[in-house]
Structure 1
Amino acid sequence: MIETIFGNVTAAKIMLYLFHYGEAYASGISKDMGVALSQVQKQLDRFEEGGILVSKLMGKVRIYTFNPKIGVTKKLKELIQIFYDSIPLEQKEQMFSERRRPRRRNKPVLSKVDKNRA
């Protein structure tokens, strides 16, 4: 159902990915979500042109985040949260199995808060 709201499956996956990780880069989204890199790049460009996302260069990599300067961002994240919370824990663990920042060895991918919601 989230893909209906965002227009397509790629857009929905990107929004869920950004919601989960907080920031992302095109090739990371492509690899983790199983979507062609060109599709991810086009969708990220559309979101940035629309003002939903902002990006910055870190070295040679363009990092995308939600635009904190527009008022709709908070409501958009609340909407995404509803869909995110409805995803079964097993599916979340598959979708977000890659950790983007260092963490303690054997620490679960999802927090206790996420597990309590499932």
Structure 2
Amino acid sequence: MLEVLFGGKTKESVLQYLLAKDEGYIRGIASFYETSSTVVKQQIDKLEQGGVIVGKDIGNIRMYRLNPRYPFLKELISLLERAREAYEPDLLKKLLENERVRPRRKGKPVWKK
């Protein structure tokens, strides 16, 4: 929807993911959209250099989130939320579902309810 403004669909997808899930990592975002992690990394690097998102190392994973100090954050969020109105219902439902975004430690048991 906003490809023209952002220069590509992947950048919009990364921003939508981070807005919906609060945080994410490269492989998680790439697998969510079923795209290449290389393309996602390129866009994340550009967004991080521009100060739109911030990254934090947690173990050997770098987690990203929208930069709360970005001067146009309110406007960006408003624009992204407005763009969601044109999304297909299936994608919107998948995007807004609450699911685990951090990777699970190797060998950690899965607790089922």
Do they superpose with TM above 0.5?
yes
- Name the TM-score, length of structure 1 as normaliser: 0.77
- Structure 1 residue 4 corresponds to structure 2 residue 4: yes
For 2:34 and 2:98, the matched residues in 1 are separated by 13
Cα RMSD (Å): 1.9
Contact kept? 1:3, 1:9, Cα under 8 Å: yes
Contact kept? 1:22, 1:65, Cα under 8 Å: yes
Alignment of 1:1-118 (within 5 A): 1-95=1-95, 99-100=99-100
For 1:90 and 1:28, the matched residues in 2 are separated by 19
Deviation at 1:98, TM superposition (A): 7.2
- Name the TM-score, length of structure 2 as normaliser: 0.80
For 1:88 and 1:41, the matched residues in 2 are separated by 25
| More off after superposition, 69-78 vs 53-62 | 69-78
Contact kept? 1:32, 1:96, Cα under 8 Å: no
Partner residue in 2 for 1:108:
none
Partner residue in 1 for 2:106:
none
Show structure 2 runs of 5+ residues with no match. 102-112
* Identical aligned residues as a percent: 27
Which 4+ residue blocks in structure 1 deviate beyond 6 angstroms?
none
Deviation at 1:18, TM superposition (A): 1.0
Q: Deviations over 1:46-67 (max 9, x none)?
A: 0000010001011111011111
For 1:97 and 1:75, the matched residues in 2 are separated by 23
Aligned positions, number: 102
Deviation at 1:77, TM superposition (A): 0.7
